[in-house]
Amino acid sequence: MFAAEDLIRQISAKWGLQGRTVQSPVHADIALTRARAPARGEDQGYQVEVTPKGIAIRARHATGMFYGVQTLLRLIRQENDRPAVRSVIVTDWPDIPIRAVPYNTKHYQAKKDNVFNFIRTLASYKINMLIWEWEDKFAYKSHPEIGAPGAFTMEDMQEFTRFARKYHVEIVPLVQGLGHVSYILKHPQYRALREIPSNNWGFCPLREGTYDLMGDLIKEAAEATPGSRYIHIGCDETYMLGKGITCGCREKYESEGEYALRQVYINQVGEMVKKLKRLPIAWNGGYDPKEKVEPVEGLFVWGGEDPVRDRAALDHGYPLYIYDPNPGIEHLFLPYFYREDEKGPVRPHLEESYAVLTQASGSGIFKGMISTSWNCSGVHNQIWMLRYITAAAYSWNGKAPLLEEFVNTYFQDYYGPRGKDIRELFTILNKASYYYMSTFERKVWHWGEVGKTHLPDLPRDDMEFDPLWNTAYGDLVKRSHDLLPQMERALDICRENLGNGVEN
C-alpha cells in the first residue's frame, strides 16, 4: 500500500527510523486498517489513534489512509532526544473536498525534480489538486511554435500526472483563453485571432479560428493529464473583450453586455472540455439569474461573493469554489504579517485569508477551494507555501486551530525542528519590501507594468554635500538608515539557518 511506503520513507528521512510492512496489523507497531474506520468525509476521512499499546490509522479508502499517515507524521515530536508521539485520537475529514493550489510556470522552466518535490510537499499538507498554468512551458505537438525551448513534453506531463495521482493530487491543466494569451498571439501566424490587431493579450471570441486552435490545445492538455477530471479554461483579466470592431464584438458587447460576449467563449470551450469527458473550471462566467445566457452545464465557478447568486447557481447544478483572496502583487515578498496600501497599514494577508476561509468552510456550500499566486512578482515558490498551506488547512477544517497557533506550527513543520527565527525573518522581509516598493520600483497593478523602475535621481556631486538631493530624498535616506540593521539581522538569520542545514 502506498500510504505505508510513504510512512516508511518519511520516518526514515526525518527521524532515521527503519520500517517494513507486514500483512497482519496485529503484528505491527503502526497498524493501517479499514476496520472501525470513520464513515465521514467519503474517501478522505480517517482516524489516528495513539495509545501506549500502539498506533492505528483507520480509513475506508486509500486517500484517507494517506492523510492519516500525514497527520501521524506531524504528531511526531522530538522528546528527550528521540522521536515520540503523545496519546491521542484524531477523527478527521475535510470541510471542503477539493483543495487546489496553482502552479504558475509561465515565467520560468522548472526542473523535473522540483516538480516532483513540490507535488510531494503539497500532498503532505492534504492539498489534492494542482492547477498548472503552464502557458508555453508545455511542448504542444499540434502547434510546435508555442512551446518554449526546453518545455516539458507530453511524456513529462503524463509522468507528473501519474506521480501526482499516487500522492492523491490531481493535476489540472489551465489553458488560458480570452486573456493572458500573449504566449500564443505573439506568433505572426495567430495574429488574425487577436481581438485588436495591436495587442496580443486577448483572443476574439467571435472568430472560428479561435476555437480551432483552442480545440487542439485543450485536446493535448487532456492527453497530457491522463485520468484527471477537470480542465481549467481561465477567462480572467479579459481586458480586450468587446474592443474589436470589424469582428462584431463591440456591437455584441454594447447590445447584449459583457457577460453574453464572454459566455460565447466560455460555453464553446466548455463544451469542448466536456466532449473530452472532462469538467470545465473557469475564473468567470458563473450562473447569474439576471443574465439570459446560461453557462455550459456543470461549469465549476467562483462563489462566495453574493449569497443569492450562490444559491441560484447551486439550485441550477453549478458547483462552487471559494477563491482564497490573493495577497496581491507586492514586490520581493508577500504581505503575510504586514500590509500597506496608499493610505497606510491595512489587514495583512494571512488574517484576510483566515477570515474568508473559515467562513467558507463552515458554510457547507463549497465543493472546492482555489488558491492562486502571482509569481510575476518574482517571489519563489517556497515563499508562497505559507499561503498554500494556510489555504489547505482552513479549507480542511475551518474551526481550528487559531491563526497564531497555525502559523507557529507551520514554521516548525515546513522548516523543521532546526529552523530558527524564520518567522522573524519573514516579518523583516515583509516590511522591508514596502521600502523597496516606495523607492526603487513603483507599486503598480501588474498588467504590463511590473518591473518599471522608479529610481531616485542621482546626486549631482558628492551625495553627502548635495543639499538639494538631501532635501528631496531626506525621508528615504532616513528610512534606509533605519532599515540597515534589520537587513543585517535578516542576513544573520539566513546564515544561521543555512549553517544548520535547514531545508526550504
Question: Which stretches of the chain bind Zn ion, using CB under 5 A?
Answer: 195, 204, 206, 244, 247, 249
- Residue 195 identity: E
CB 283 to Zn ion: min, Å: 20
Q: Quick one: 204 or 369, whose CB is closer to Zn ion? A: 204
Residue 320 backbone phi and psi in degrees, to 5: -120, 145
Q: Quick one: 93 or 265, whose CB is closer to Zn ion? A: 265
Q: Quick one: 6 or 195, whose CB is closer to Zn ion? A: 195
- Measured between alpha carbons, how far is 382 from 394 in angstroms, rounded to an integer? 19
Q: Quick one: 101 or 264, whose CB is closer to Zn ion? A: 264
- Measured between alpha carbons, how far is 161 from 178 in angstroms, rounded to an integer? 26
Q: Quick one: 45 or 244, whose CB is closer to Zn ion? A: 244
CB 185 to Zn ion: min, Å: 13
- Measured between alpha carbons, how far is 92 from 70 in angstroms, rounded to an integer? 12
- Measured between alpha carbons, how far is 408 from 236 in angstroms, rounded to an integer? 34
Q: Quick one: 7 or 247, whose CB is closer to Zn ion? A: 247
CB 33 to Zn ion: min, Å: 59
Which grid coordinates are listed for 187? 506568433
- Which residue has cell 480509513? 59
| C-beta separation of 384 from 350 below 8 A | no
CB 210 to Zn ion: min, Å: 9
| C-beta separation of 243 from 249 below 8 A | yes
Cα dist from 439 to 279, 338, 380, 449, whole Å: 46, 18, 22, 16
Single out the residue of 156, 237, 379 nearest to residue 147, CA to CA: 156
CB 264 to Zn ion: min, Å: 10
- Measured between alpha carbons, how far is 202 from 261 in angstroms, rounded to an integer? 13
- Measured between alpha carbons, how far is 396 from 391 in angstroms, rounded to an integer? 8
CB 249 to Zn ion: min, Å: 3
Please enumerate in sequence order all residues whose Cβ is within 8 A of that of 282, keeping only pairs 6 or more positions apart, or say none.
Answer: 232, 233, 234, 235, 266, 270, 299, 300, 301
CB 253 to Zn ion: min, Å: 9
CB 238 to Zn ion: min, Å: 11
| C-beta separation of 239 from 200 below 8 A | no
CB 195 to Zn ion: min, Å: 5
Residue 422 backbone phi and psi in degrees, to 5: -75, -30
Q: Quick one: 139 or 249, whose CB is closer to Zn ion? A: 249
227: number of Cβ within 10 Å: 11
Q: Quick one: 206 or 487, whose CB is closer to Zn ion? A: 206
Q: Quick one: 190 or 338, whose CB is closer to Zn ion? A: 190
